[in-house]
Structure 1
Amino acid sequence: MQLSKYFIVLLLLYCTKVDAQFDYKEDWIIPNCDENYPEFPGGISALHQYLQKAIKYPKWVYKNEITDTVRIIFTVGTSGKIVAIKAEEYKHERLAQVVMNAFKKMPAWKPGTIACKPVEMKEAIRIYFLVQ
């Protein structure tokens, strides 16, 4: 969760303002600003449902009883569209490609905001392939 700490620090730096108009007094003004992370339409449960439908487990995974974890790092743009996708920490290239294809077809998210303005934000999700 280092990314979250980075955005919190960034938010504090952006929202903290010094106003020194009153006889050498420094008044810290924190404007009505907030930070919202990107959100899949319908929330987390809708994201899980989408991924279950969109990721088709290849038959060779079952046949060979393959387990793997694919970590997807993606950027939600200011319009909510996924603008960059990268797969990491996987053993099987074909599984990583299956997951990336599902993310490429993903509907637009509600974009993240800092100080009430849409900004690009990175997210990371792990997809586990387990054969039981």
Structure 2
Amino acid sequence: MRSFIASMIVLSSLCCSLHAQQLDPNSSPKRVIYATTEQQPEFPGGLPKLKEYIQQNLHYPPAAQKAMKEGTVFLHFIVSEQGALEDVHVRMPINPDLDAEALRLIKTMPKWTPGKIAGKPVACRYNLPIKFAL
């Protein structure tokens, strides 16, 4: 039984924009990574299934729970052309235990539907905040 409410906030991603496509600052001629795409990457089943996945798979770390640590961990990662999640990093750390759990959660996610430009799958940077609340 969980004694906490774990929820996520999907604010927006750099990939959500319908404006002109922009390259990610880490893009290179060897690996093109977009910051914006025409069609954003998507968790299988969309946002409702992403929320469900997070609620079912996020485990509040006992040490953080005992210390009454709360907050939002901001992560970013690349959704590859094949939908694999790569280069997962914490952008705004809040607590080592919460950061580690958010990273674990993202790294265990199934493949996503990749972002697309002109109907072609492309690698895209995605930002996702994970909220921990007691």
Q: TM-score, normalised by structure 2?
A: 0.72
| Residue aligned with 2:50, SS | helix
Q: How does 1:44-63 map to 2 (within 5 A)?
A: 44-63=47-66
CA deviation vs aligned residue, 1:83-105 (integer Å, no higher than 9, x gap): 22010212212211111111111
The 5 A counterparts of 1:1-132 are 3-4=14-15, 8-10=19-21, 35-131=38-134
* Higher Cα Rg, which structure: 1
SS at match of 2:52: helix
**CA, structure 1 residues 102+116, in 2 after alignment: closer, same or farther (shift >3 Å)?**
same
Aligned length: 109
Separation in structure 2 between the aligned mates of residue 83 and residue 122 of structure 1, nearest angstrom: 9
Give the superposition deviation at 1:68.
2.1
- d(CA) in 2 for partners of 1:50, 1:2: 18
Match of 1:97, as an amino acid?
A
Q: Is the 8 A contact 1:36 1:114 kept in 2?
A: yes
- 1 CA distance for matches of 2:54 and 2:17? 28
Change (3 A) 1:86 1:106: same
Change in 2 beyond 3 A, CA 1:38/1:96: same
Q: Looking at both structures, which has the greater relative contact order when contacts are Cα pairs under 8 Å and sequence separation is at least 6? A: 2
Instruction: List gaps (5 residues or longer) in structure 1.
Output: 12-33
Which has the larger helix fraction? 1
**TM-score in terms of structure 1 length:** 0.73
- The alignment yields a C-alpha RMSD, in angstroms, of 2.2
